[in-house]
Structure 1
Amino acid sequence: MNPEAILEHRIFQLVRDFIAQLPQFLLALAILVVTWAVARYGSRLLMRGLGHTKVRRSLADVLEKLVAIMIWLGGLLLASVVAFPTLTPGRVITALGLGSIAIGFAFKDILENFLAGILILYREPFRLGDYVECAGIEGRVEEITIRDTHIRQTDGQRVVVPNATLYRDPVWVLTDQDTRRTTIICGIAYGEDVDRAREVIQAAVTPLPSVRDDREVQVFAQAFGESSIDFEVTWWTGAKPIDIRRSRDQVVAAVKRALDEAGIEIPFPYRTLTFKEPLALTRARDEGQE
């Protein structure tokens, strides 16, 4: 048989095999179309059902994506088996297993952030609008996605933090409650009356508008400083960073004004110099006069 006849026979064989497999290909295509429709409208129905529950929007979006992925995996598996009869479900699952291992090693960080995002959205350790601090980053939570969390710092900068960091490292939720305790240190001169100074400070801080009246203002003599008796002044105020700064400003101003009006000194740092041999200086001066 000459080469042209062999080539013609192979082409004819390919065409005949294609025609024979065409119904299976069309059926596989129909399965993919049905999969697309089920994934699209099924996700909408899921979101509509979750809208009547207390599940927050971010977690609902994650569930929608997971359901769509599962539907597409099932549709692709069924379509591949229909289009290629020799490809058994066991072989497909084995191939998917080996492929997922390779993908897992290649995209380890992405998968880690993905799983951490699901856990954060499910457990809700913090919510949108909360002020948090983690890994040296402090600010308000603006958005929680499946991969990262967007935090707006108090200076206006936006920081995108991987979810794995927020799940692995300690997170301080600063606004978990409506109030926070804050403290300043105030010093008075050693010659002043400690008990009287405590009463003056207590009376100055308690009536301030930013100081919570349902919590006690605490004023304790803390330590002997280099130039002063140091008081620890502690009170409760709002939990947001701006509440803390505003309240500190009011407390410092009120304590300074009250101590000045009471005649209680807030000392500057003192330094005492001691000379062991003052006579040597006198002798040198006398010798210079001679």
Structure 2
Amino acid sequence: MHTHLTFSTPRRAVWLLLVMLACQALMPAGSAAQESVATVRLDGRALFRIGPDDALEPRPRARQIERQLAAVLETPQGITRARISPSETENEGLQISVAGRPLLVVSPADAEANGLTLDKLAREWAAIIDRALATAVKRRDSDRGRFVTPVQSSVETAFARLLESAINIIPRVLAALLVLLLFWGLATAVRALMRKLVSRLANDLTVENLVRQVSYYAVWLLGIMVAASAFGLEPSTLATGLGLTSLALGFALKDILSNFVSGLLILTLRPFQLGDQIIIGETEGSVERIELRATQIRTYDGRRVLVPNAETFTSRVTNNTAAPVRRGKVVCMLGYGIDIDAISAVMREAAQQTTGVLATPEASVHLIDLGESQLVFDVQFWCDSRRSDFVATASEVRKSLIAALRAARVTLPDEARQNVVLHTPKA
């Protein structure tokens, strides 16, 4: 048995959104997941943690201080003790400088974040900088040290930042995954509840399918929003990020969105229902499921085919079971030597008495064509519209017609029989 399968598009869309959220959370300055503090390092060793100022976010501010410290170390013989002075750019801040090079401005916000007074915090950071610079100078007191120390410090800094990022991100990732797991269970429970409620209120499989899927994915959407919040993204930032990428997403997910909207329209307008036997293009079979991405059809030879909803909605669909009854016909070709009215009555009676043929509407016989050597009759009858009943009834009607015509001593056509006319030459 052959099966045409594709990945579940709604689940794929969920994971795509999660990847987008993760990428947005890891974006640098301007992202909603920007850290509130960052670590200032020298030679890979942490000095202190610093918050944002009026111009820079924590991470760029920390990198700026690190670049200033690296510039100071380029001339180790000129390094002096850190000097604290009033800031020229911030009225209430204190500036820490070394060898005439300003390193950072300690702001009242920094003091409040560390629970210290401005003067005490400035002196503490200045002392940390002095000790770190002294250690860094000692590590560079030889040619080998001047070569090895920058390489070693770069590696140590990279691993330290990686560990710091992991410590900050992993708890949020776990929290987001836990939220998604909880909402997955909630969505499954809501879907089961909707199935029971709809089955009691309305005995319609198509309506039940629509309500179940809409409620399931609505809970999923709510879960993604809550997971984004647990990950550290603000709803406004998330909306802005999605707005900025909406054009690219529109092109990338054009077919998915088209199938999704078409699925909603099919479930709402209901051109066919679960169990109907339909024809879409070259595919014919029974409708097993109507999902938001594709319609699942079981063909008569047992194969399962998924037809995209966009194709289903825009194609010509033939619903063989939209009505409970269906008209069938059998074509009979008889010779010109018969009594047309009498034989027509025989064929009509034979078709009407066949098992599976409905009493009303009654069977009928029509002469539809005059062939070169045969009369063509169209025997029409009505039966159940389902294919299994229709095919079986048509077969029984053919058997009944053959038996009735033989009983009426009507010669049936024989393609192997040929009339041979002998021409006798004249003497």
Normalising by the smaller structure, the TM-score range is 0.7 to 0.9
Residue 133 (structure 1) shift: 0.9
CA contact (8 A) 1:187 1:267 kept: yes
Taking the aligned partners of 2:350 and 2:44, their CA distance within structure 1 comes to: 104
CA contact (8 A) 2:190 2:216 kept: no
Query: What is the Cα-based RMSD across aligned positions, in Å?
Result: 3.8
Between Structure 1 and Structure 2, how many residues are aligned? 269
Q: TM-score, normalised by structure 1?
A: 0.76
One-letter amino acid of the counterpart of residue 60, structure 1? V
Taking the aligned partners of 1:105 and 1:162, their CA distance within structure 2 comes to: 18
Taking the aligned partners of 2:393 and 2:41, their CA distance within structure 1 comes to: 93
Deviations 1:66-125 (A, max 9, x none): 312431354356567xx57xx792x54232123232122112222222222222223322
Listed as ranges, the matches of 1:1-290 within 5 Å are: 7=42, 11-14=46-49, 36=180, 39=183, 43=187, 44-45=189-190, 48=193, 51-53=196-198, 54=202, 56=205, 57-75=208-226, 78=229, 83=232, 89=236, 92-269=238-415
Q: TM-score, normalised by structure 2?
A: 0.54
Taking the aligned partners of 1:136 and 1:29, their CA distance within structure 2 comes to: 47
Residue 239 (structure 1) shift: 1.1
CA contact (8 A) 1:131 1:240 kept: yes
CA contact (8 A) 1:128 1:143 kept: yes
Residue 228 (structure 1) shift: 0.8
CA contact (8 A) 2:370 2:376 kept: yes
Deviations 1:173-228 (A, max 9, x none): 11122211001111111111111111111121111121101211110111102321
Taking the aligned partners of 1:116 and 1:206, their CA distance within structure 2 comes to: 43
Residue 264 (structure 1) shift: 1.8
The 3 A distance-change label for structure 1 pair 249 and 68 is same
Question: Residue in 1 aligned with 2:26?
Answer: none
One-letter amino acid of the counterpart of residue 230, structure 1? V
Question: Residue in 1 aligned with 2:81?
Answer: none
CA contact (8 A) 2:278 2:285 kept: yes
Taking the aligned partners of 1:172 and 1:8, their CA distance within structure 2 comes to: 74
The 3 A distance-change label for structure 1 pair 122 and 31 is farther
Quick check: 45-54 or 196-205, which moved more? 45-54
CA contact (8 A) 1:47 1:64 kept: no
CA contact (8 A) 2:195 2:212 kept: no
Taking the aligned partners of 1:161 and 1:51, their CA distance within structure 2 comes to: 28
- Give the unaligned 5+ runs of structure 2: 1-39, 52-57, 60-109, 115-168
Residue 58 (structure 1) shift: 2.5
Larger Rg: 2
- Give the unaligned 5+ runs of structure 1: none
Residue 29 (structure 1) shift: 8.7
CA contact (8 A) 2:180 2:227 kept: no
Taking the aligned partners of 1:69 and 1:98, their CA distance within structure 2 comes to: 23
The 3 A distance-change label for structure 1 pair 99 and 10 is farther
One-letter amino acid of the counterpart of residue 71, structure 1? L
CA contact (8 A) 1:219 1:234 kept: yes
Partner SS, residue 182 of structure 1:
strand
Residue 169 (structure 1) shift: 0.7
Quick check: 119-128 or 200-209, which moved more? 119-128
Deviations 1:41-76 (A, max 9, x none): 764457535632337443233213331243135435
Taking the aligned partners of 1:99 and 1:29, their CA distance within structure 2 comes to: 22
